[in-house]
Amino acid sequence: MICADDLCGRRALRVVCSWFHSTDGDEPEPELVHMWLLLDGLGPVLFHTIDHILDLRIDEPHGSYDMGEYGHVTVGDAPDDFPLAPFVGHEILTVRHVRQLSLDTSVGIVAGFATGDVRILALADDLVVTASRLSDTWEGDLEVTSPVASTDRD
């Protein structure tokens, strides 16, 4: 496991995602399972959830795989409309930690870039990557800490 603060001062080189595609007709949209953010000087950082906690570790992206009757998982570069896609090639200037008040635990981070922020969160054990506001229920249960800046690491 790596510390999210280690992301500060690193340039995002590539974003890779794994998506679960259900065979159940009730879920037409694929669900984000894992995300890898490839960072200069650090390598591929895997973001995934473990019991409502965002886990970060150095790990190479895996390949796509079949899950039989449940569906399949595809792995590849993030689509152009993925919240982190516009920041590929840019440096993470700040990292702020996000706490879920009702669980009294850290559930993610806000990665700050020169032109915007992206939240990477473990909410209800789902990996959520967003540059947008969440529902009022979620927003009221989250607290963001003061930023750790890339200059704080030196």
99-125 pLDDT tens trace: 999 999 999 999 999 999 999 999 998
Nearest CA-CA partner of 54 in 104, 97, 113, 9: 97
65-95 pLDDT tens trace: 999 999 999 999 999 999 999 999 999 999 9
SS3 86: helix
SS3 16: strand
Return the higher-pLDDT residue of 29 and 64. 64
Calculate the alpha carbon distances from 135 to 26, 99, 126, 130, 138 in Å.
Answer: 22, 16, 15, 12, 5
The answer to whether 24 and 78 are in contact (CB under 8 A) is: no
